[in-house]
Structure 1
Amino acid sequence: MNTSSQRPADTWSPLYFLASLGAGGLSVTFFMFLMFWVPHPGQPVPVFEDILAAFSQGGIALKAAILVAVTGIAGFAFLNIKLLIWNLARLAEFKKTDAYTKLMGSNGETQFLAMPLALAMTVNAGFILGLVFVPGLWNIVEYLFPMAMVAFGLIAYLAFNRIGGFLGRVLSEGGVFDVTANNSFAQLLPAFALSMIAVGMSAPAAMSTVPTTVGISLVLSIALGAIAALYTVVAAIVAFNSMLQYGTAKESAPTLMVVVPILTILGIMTMRQEHGLHTTFDAHGGVADNLLLTTTILAIQGVFIALGLLVLKRQRYADAYLRGAGNSAGSYALVCPGVALSVMLHFWINKGLVGAGLIAKFGIAYWSLTSLAIAAQVSMIVLVLLLNKRHFGRPADGHAVPAE
């Protein structure tokens, strides 16, 4: 078959699940508008009724923001679900090929963790869709929380099954893990998946008023978050040693910034847990706790973003995979850090700076900082549109680069 007549996405790899993930993440960035700009007395998140009231009574600017937010949420959530279904169908086909057997026997086996990662994001995006578009949802939400935890529990089972298969193989057989090909942060994908499941599992802790539901949510999310953090540290240290010896693998260079979304997710998980401890178990934290947490996370994220961009620039990654003839499914990993930075900036500004009384909400400083979050969001929208056109558009002369 003439490969020039194919779309790059026709040469499928598990990393295409990141396309679904990125779209879901962008729907979350639009939800931040509603989360922090729409009043929602009586519950920790805005629901359909709050949004409708704000749209009816608010000024032109708020109306415009709500319209942009709901449009963005609906559009990117649809893309998230569409790409998830497409990837699941392609995965079923891929399992019947020799390429699947080869990938399962290599370092790249962990790429399959992109599937539970994308599944967890879709469950989170689905909950946002319910909050925004379903009237009266909050009246039955206590029945939905156990269902959500069961869903995340099943996704966690898929993730641990994949991780156990990989670690069992490489740690028991010996000599099957190629250290020279571990010169990126690609092996942090399992930690990314676990952290996404953990943040979803922590949602009932922040939103439920049933102590049993809150308690189960706390225990399970703490366990998953702790395992994700441990896996991140171990995998990063091992990978960094390989990068120092062999340099960073060019195609996998975007993974240098995967720490950014992991930190945002674990940070949101921690804030949800603290909220649940406060509202249900009367455990009080300090006024500046969120400021300390979000500022620390942003500082670390800044280091990894700077490092990642430096390496990408030195290796001329954009010339190879964003502007040139080559196409890599791993390019979708570039979306995650920008989305995560945008979301964390919103939390830092609203829960950190405003919460601690350092700046006034909706003041000049507030909008100046918020513009940075919106800039990161817009940049990632442009990137997603560019990548989707390259990978899913009409066939071009570009060739797909098989993931390693």
Structure 2
Amino acid sequence: MKPTRAADHYVPTYFLASLGAGGLSVTFFMYLMFWVPHPGRPVPVFEDILAAFSTGALPMKIAILAAWIGIAVFVFLNLKYLIWNLSQYAALKKTERFQALRNSNAESTMLAMPLALAMSVNALFVAGMVYVPKLWSVVEYLFPFAMIAFGVIGWIALSIIGDFLGRVLAKGGVFDVTSHNSFAQMLPAFALSMVGVGFAAPAAMSHVPWIVATALVLSTFFAVAALIYALVALTTAFNSMLHYGTHEESGPTLLIVIPIVTILSILFMRQAHGLHTFEGHSDPASTMMFLARMVSLQFVFLGLGLVVLKRQGYFKDFVFGSKTSPGSYALVCPGVALSVLIQFFVNSGLVQAGVIAKFSVIYWVITAIAIGFQIAMIALVFRLNAQHFTRTEATPVPAE
């Protein structure tokens, strides 16, 4: 009998395999972002990293080597699974199963495609800064092209959302409220926020006023759209879950608020940095309190999600057991998001406000929490990839 694998039964949710790998590349970039000196630049680039590696102590060299290897591995996996997904998605669109998907609640899972595309653009930008010499000398010329790319991805996302909302809101009875008992419908908000944070990058890094202003306006639009969609999806899903309980395979979506919070937090910090171009300023204490509120929000939803997942036995069945569900990849994003935002909270919040000293004992104690989430998500990604993409002999069905 021909070997099979879970991913042979393709659904657009598998774009989250690419997304999770891209997110892990960003967790390694945090090592460089906050530990490598980069005077005069908002982010470290190849020259800064090479200088730190050449002159730094052994711990610095180890951290940079880990970042170099980690970014390379996970950007590769990000692009590998993106290409695979795009191929599978194109084939799916030619089937009757795709038409059935478009006429169900699961139509919103199509937003995983622009979400993964936006993540890949971000991951490629990270790889460019880390591996390409003299990139910063031409970066101002790259920002308009980056905004065009995010504009195209944003248009794709808005088109899918428009088709979905047009179908379910134009007439009643086409949206199944009984199967709305999860946060799966938050995926469009996730995609919109990812496009928004991509637009916000030029706002934080460019010195050209029209680029900064354009990035500020467009990132604001996608942030507002994401917040509105998230609020509606969240409240209606809670109502359905209270009536019908949480759908077992969609349990990981209860944690989707966590990556949305990280993305929007970074978006707003990038905007605050960009406002310096127009004499706008933010103080370290305000940034620290903002990040403290966002991390607190994440841990509230982490607690909620873990309580439900534990009661359902999700990890026992779908992560450590023999069952497979594409939605398991939704578990990667929250851990990645917590790792990234804790790093920002420590460095852009506590250190900048003067609460703790950089590289002090308490600094490393809190940073260890972020690294712990990162290591756990690395293990989870390789576990899920083995479950879903490794071929095994299909179990024969007994004759009646």
Give the TM-score taking structure 2 as reference length. Answer: 0.98
Match of 2:358 in 1: 361
Q: Measure how far apart 1:292 and its partner are.
A: 1.1
Pairs within 5 Å for 1:83-162: 83-162=81-160
Q: Structure 1 pair 396/27, CA: closer, same or farther in 2 (3 Å)?
A: farther
Alignment of 1:321-332 (within 5 A): 321-332=318-329
Question: Does residue 16 of the first structure (1) align with residue 3 of the second (2)?
Answer: no
Q: Does residue 216 of the first structure (1) align with residue 214 of the second (2)?
A: yes
The secondary structure found in structure 2 opposite 1:251 is helix
Q: Aligned ranges for residues 5-404 of structure 1 at < 5 Å?
A: 5-278=3-276, 280-396=277-393
- Deviation of 1:41 after TM superposition, in Å, equals 0.8
Q: Distance in 2 between matches of 1:287 and 1:49?
A: 28
CA distance in 1, matches of 2:153, 2:82: 14
What is the identity, as a one-letter code, of the residue corresponding to 2:182? S
Q: In structure 2, do the counterparts of structure 1 residues 64 and 191 end up closer, same or farther at CA, with 3 Å as the change threshold?
A: same
DSSP-derived class of the 1:151 partner:
helix
Contact 1:338 1:376 in 2 (8 A): yes
- Unaligned 5+ segments in structure 2 are none
Q: Distance in 2 between matches of 1:170 and 1:24?
A: 32
C-alpha separation between the residues in 1 aligned to 2:62 and 2:280? 39
Alignment length, in residue pairs? 396
Deviation at 1:223, TM superposition (A): 0.9
Please tell me the residue identity of whatever aligns with 1:310: V
Q: What is the CA distance between 1:398 and its match in structure 2?
A: 7.6
Moved over 4 A (4+): 396-399
Contact 1:195 1:225 in 2 (8 A): yes
Provide the rounded CA distance (Å) in 2 between the counterparts of 1:170 and 1:312: 29
Deviation, structure 1 residue 381: 0.2
Worse-matched range after superposition: 239-248 or 281-290: 281-290
Q: CA deviation at 1:309?
A: 0.5
Code of the aligned partner of 2:121: V
CA distance in 2, matches of 1:227, 1:289: 25
- In the alignment, the residues of structure 2 paired with residue 175 and residue 394 of structure 1 have an alpha-carbon distance, to the nearest angstrom, of 40
Root-mean-square deviation (Å)? 1.1
TM-score normalised by the chain length of structure 1: 0.97
Say which SS state the counterpart of residue 379 (structure 2) adopts: helix
- CA distance in 2 between partners of 1:105 and 1:88 (Å): 21
Work out whether residues 326 and 398 of structure 1, in 8 Å CA contact, stay in contact via their aligned partners in 2.
no
User: In the aligned structure 1, how far is the partner of 2:395 from the partner of 2:176?
Assistant: 29
Separation in structure 2 between the aligned mates of residue 13 and residue 395 of structure 1, nearest angstrom: 19
Q: What percent of counterpart residues are identical?
A: 59
* Structure 2 CA distance for aligned equivalents of residues 350 and 398 of structure 1: 51
Q: Aligned pair in 2 of structure 1 residues 398, 378: CA closer, same or farther (>3 Å)? A: farther
CA distance in structure 1 between the partners assigned to 2:309 and 2:56 by the alignment: 44
Give the distance between the partners of 1:26 and 1:194, measured in 2 at CA.
20
**Offset, 1:387:** 0.1
Query: 1:396 Cα shift?
Result: 4.8
Q: Which amino acid aligns with 2:333?
A: C
Q: Is the 8 A contact 1:325 1:398 kept in 2?
A: no
Counterparts of 1:346 and 1:318, CA distance in 2: 27
Report the Cα offset of residue 85 of structure 1: 0.3
CA distance in 1, matches of 2:162, 2:94: 22
Residue 402 of structure 1: aligned partner: none
Deviations 1:312-354 (A, max 9, x none): 0000011221122221000000000000000000000000000
Give the aligned residue type for 1:27.
S
- Structure 2 CA distance, aligned partners of 1:394 and 1:89? 19
CA displacement, residues 49-88 of structure 1 (integer Å, 9 cap, x when unaligned): 0000000000000000000001000100000001000000
